[in-house]
Amino acid sequence: MDSTAIFDVVRSVTGAWARQRKAEEREASRVSRRRDALVRSRRMTIREAAWSVMPRAYLKASSGGTLPAHARQIMYAARGEIQRLTGRTLDDQYFTQQLLPDFMNEHPSATAEWDVVFDARGHFHEPHTGRTVALGTIEVRRYLRDVAEHTLPELQVGLPEPAIFPTCGPDHRYGAILFVEKEGFLPLFRAVHLAERYDLAIMSTKGLSVTASRLLVDRLCAAHQVPLLVLHDFDKSGFSILGTLRRDTRRYAFRNRIEVVDLGLRLEDVEDSELEAEDVVHRSDPAPNLRENGATAEEIAFMRTRRVELNAFASADFVAWIERKLGQHGITKVLPDNDSLTLAYRRGIASDYIAFRLRGAIEEARQHAADAPAPDDLASRVADGMRADPARSWDELVWQLVLEHSSGRRSGRLDSDAEA
């Protein structure tokens, strides 16, 4: 039998099988497509998936609710399950800035005990003291606690201290808070000593005020009767920033009524200072948002197509403009009551006295330290201490040995005096 005949026989035998096999493959493909379509129809939205996993994600990130959890930790705990349920990639910022805050706002009872930490997106600066507070959840909580617990010290002095009296918060230190929507102006303000000359605390954020910044002004301005002065661009975002500091939002509800002063920019400032405007295109009509946040009809007409930034000022003109605004609103230096002034004066007298007496003591102490022998087994004793308590540093342990040595010498001296 030739090769052609053999091929025809094989084809006739296997043809039916091949047709059946192809039919099965086509049917399997159809089944797979139907299954995929059914799965897609059942998939959740990212928001639905986030709502279903959020409590478990928080408990995982916070070690069962026993420790603070950063927003991004919760995102990592939730991300895998959200992506499995939705078949979509989860955007980190969308989760931390929208989904998580929305969930907490919509479930206030269930999340009342949640301790969620958000990143700092700005800074708060006290005048004169050099104290700077990052506008993050933990940092603001700590500062508010320090302010609440702070009291003026009695006439107790130790080693000489700077002339700055030990204050914490507005009392005896600053009479207003200046909010600036941009962080880039802080070097300029430092150069002209704006905060120090007007006793202002200066707060700046990147764009919209974060919830930590609103918590800060909510507590400080109400408790200490200090106004919040707001500097913002003349555009939709600037008025939104002003609005979030005046009213409740999805992210934050104010507990207190505070005095918010709009320093500008407003249309009058733009025209009086002849500031350069730039064209702007909005995705939607900005009028409702601008109207809600206090813009006039004339200002809304301008901002439909144009905007003006604070950056349009030259530096000297900007400072002069701010100073005029501060003068118009009666912002002046802080002068404490006479009792506080007297206490500060006496504290200075005491510190100066100590400094005078200390000069001789310093030289005596240096000689005493130079003559003091160190223990032969110093290294082994420090190593033993670190093994016993790994959290302690080597210099802590050295200091402990010094205190033990000094305590022993003092006890011995007291015993000798008693026997004598």
Question: Could you tell me the CATH number of the domain that includes residue 307?
Answer: 3.40.1360.10
State the helix-helix crossing angle for 211-224 and 137-149, rounded to 10 degrees.
Answer: 10
Distance CA 387, CA 382 (A): 9
Domain residues for 284? 122-328
How far is the C-alpha of 266 from the C-alpha of 150, rounded, in Å?
38
Angle at 371 between CA 368 and CA 377, to 5 degrees: 115
From 296, 313, 328, give the residue that closes a domain. Answer: 328
Say whether both 73 and 179 belong to one domain.
no
What pLDDT does 190 receive? Answer: 84
Q: Do 63 and 189 reside in the same domain of the chain?
A: no
Give whole-number Cα distances, 70 to 58, 121, 161, 213, 361, in Å.
9, 14, 37, 17, 49
Q: Are 273 and 308 within one domain?
A: yes
Q: How far lies 400's CA from each of 370, 378, 397, 404, 406, in Å?
A: 19, 12, 5, 6, 10
Overall number of domains in the chain = 3
Instruction: Give the number of other CB atoms < 10 A from CB of residue 353.
Output: 12
Residue 414 located in a structural domain: yes
Peptide bond between residue 242 and the one before it cis (omega within 30 degrees of 0): no
Residue 302 lies in a domain: yes
Among the candidates 313, 328, 343, a domain finishes at 328
Residues 259 and 186 in one domain: yes
- The per-residue pLDDT for 52 is 94
Do 139 and 233 reside in the same domain of the chain? yes
178 in Cβ contact with 201 (< 8 Å): yes
Residues 335, 341, 345, 348, Cα dihedral to 10°: -70
Give yes or no: residues 76 and 187 share one domain. Answer: no
Residues 191 and 251 in one domain: yes
Among 117, 137, 170, residue at a domain's last position: 117
User: Pick from 267, 272, 301: which is nearest to 286 by CA?
Assistant: 301
Q: Residue 165: what are its φ and ψ, rounded to 5°?
A: -70, 140
Q: What is the mean pLDDT of each run of 10 residues along the chain (420 residues)?
A: 54 59 62 52 81 93 83 86 91 88 87 79 80 80 84 55 74 91 80 91 77 87 93 93 87 88 95 90 92 95 93 86 95 91 86 81 83 90 93 91 79 50
Question: Is 21 within a domain?
Answer: no
Q: At what angle do helices 46-61 and 71-86 cross, to 10 degrees?
A: 140
Question: Based on the domain organization, do 136 and 63 belong to the same domain?
Answer: no
Both 275 and 235 in one domain: the answer is yes
pLDDT at 57: 92
Query: What pLDDT shows up at residue 119?
Result: 63
CA separation (Å) from 285 to 4, 82, 233, 346, 371?
A: 78, 34, 18, 62, 80
**Are 92 and 204 members of one domain?**
no
- Domain co-membership, 133 together with 222: yes
Terminal-residue alpha carbon distance, the chain: 134
Residue 15 lies in a domain: no
Domain presence at residue 211: yes
pLDDT value at position 360? Answer: 81
Residues 169 and 231 placed together within one structural domain of the fold = yes
